[in-house]
Amino acid sequence: MPTLVIGIDEAGYGPNLGPLVIAATAWWLDSTKAPSERANPDTPYAEVLHECLLPEFLARPFRSLRPHVPLGDSKVIHQGYDGVVSVEIGVRYWLRFCNQHQMGFDDLIHQIAPSSASRLESIPWYDAELISPESPSSIASAEKLREFWNCGSFIADCDEKIQSMGIQFLGLATDIIDEPEFNLRTEVHDNKSTLLSIASIGLANELLERVLPQIVASLPKSDRSFEIQFYCDKHGGRNRYQSVLEDVLNNHSFTAIQEGTDRSDYLAMYRSPLIDTDGLQEIPMHWSFLAKGDRLVPIGLSSMAAKWFREELMARLNRFWQSHLPRLAATAGYPVDAKRFATAIQATADELKLDRNSWWRLR
């Protein structure tokens, strides 16, 4: 049976500086076209995509001498001086199928995260003008992207492979939670773990509702049978997600299939006028929360998108403060170094009348 799959992951959960970025990707998988020789034929197609896509798709930084499409855990791909652009290359490959691959960063954010974009515009350290296209890093990134797009025959082969395997990429959605928004939501939800779970489930459901009409329109009226599967990287040490699923998706009742340290799985029946105007057809809806889930393609690409967006915004944040303090060393925003950075910028922030809660995440 075909499956509508949505993968969810984040970047920036631990830091005190910069945004928390959550990303979700949507896929349509026709398991009847899955390679018959795959190692685990009884395993859901989404959970073996990474092995089926080898060797053209790899969790490694891009190298033009032996081209591949970077795909997988962003922490593995984001290595070395060209790690960020390797992550970007992997995301932009899939964005081609939504005609979004040539969009500039800010235009893309406005399209896939409009509410986030409007908040970012009010924060001075996320101004697009802070990163010049003439800067050495921008020039190097542009050159690396050109190297990838120049691999025309290789890219065509990749396109043909995923089409033959019954894989369709349907879209990307993000929630970029800037520092003031992070502090506000954390206060509302009492802790950042609950914030992450609620925001992730909500974003995934928004993406589901965005792509469902496209899927339903493509299916024959005589047979619109399919499944919905959500895959999410586990949130810290949490093993139980049933209550938060039912809080966010409050018109559904979930059954826990298993709950443990490796994975937690839940089942509900999805009913929506987006599928059936009378709301009578019920579609099996599975939610799986996996430890080290970014090894799976749907979560892995979400991990990459979240990493790319956060790294771009962190580059702007560093450039903003360095424009006031030229000798200030850049930061990735994680706790120990974030304290060093915060101490260095505090006096300047006071001069600029920037409240600490506007640039420092309290939890």
Give the DSSP H/E element, type plus range, for residue 172: strand 167-177
Main-chain dihedrals φ then ψ at residue 214, nearest 5 degrees: -60, -45
SS3 231: strand
Tokens found for residue 41 = 């034929």
CA 108/CA 117 separation, integer angstroms: 9
Structure confidence at residue 355 as a pLDDT band (50, 70, 90): very high
CA 115/CA 95 separation, integer angstroms: 20
pLDDT above 80: residue 296: yes
Residues with Cβ within 8 Å of residue 204, at least 6 apart in sequence = 6, 8, 24, 230, 232
For residue 228, give the DSSP letter. Answer: E
Q: Please say whether the beta carbons of 341 and 117 come within 8 A.
A: no
pLDDT above 80: residue 135: no
SS3 287: strand
Q: Residue 123's pLDDT is what?
A: 97
Query: How much is the average pLDDT of 325-342?
Result: 97
Q: For residue 300, what are the CA distances in angstroms to 59, 88, 91, 160, 188? A: 9, 13, 10, 21, 29
For the chain, helix (H) and strand (E) counts, in that order, are 13, 9
Query: How much is the average pLDDT of 162-188?
Result: 97
Nearest CA to 4 among 202, 277, 241, 283? 283
Quick one: 321 exposed, middle or buried, by C-beta within 10 A (0-12, 13-18, 19+)? buried
SS3 136: helix
Query: How much is the average pLDDT of 23-41?
Result: 86
**pTM of the full predicted structure?**
0.95
Q: Please say whether the beta carbons of 341 and 47 come within 8 A.
A: no
For residue 78, give the DSSP letter. Answer: S
pLDDT above 90: residue 237: no
Q: Residue 225's pLDDT is what?
A: 85
Q: Please say whether the beta carbons of 178 and 15 come within 8 A.
A: no
Q: Please say whether the beta carbons of 34 and 322 come within 8 A.
A: no
Structure confidence at residue 134 as a pLDDT band (50, 70, 90): low
Q: Residue 280's pLDDT is what?
A: 64
CA 43/CA 28 separation, integer angstroms: 16
Q: Residue 186's pLDDT is what?
A: 95
**Residue 132: CB atoms within 10 Å:** 11
Structure confidence at residue 50 as a pLDDT band (50, 70, 90): very high
What residue type is assigned to position 229 of the chain? Answer: Q
Please compute, for residue 159, the number of CA atoms within 13 A of its CA located in the half-sphere on the CB side: 10
When mean pLDDT is compared across 127-131, 193-197, 354-358, the lowest value belongs to: 127-131
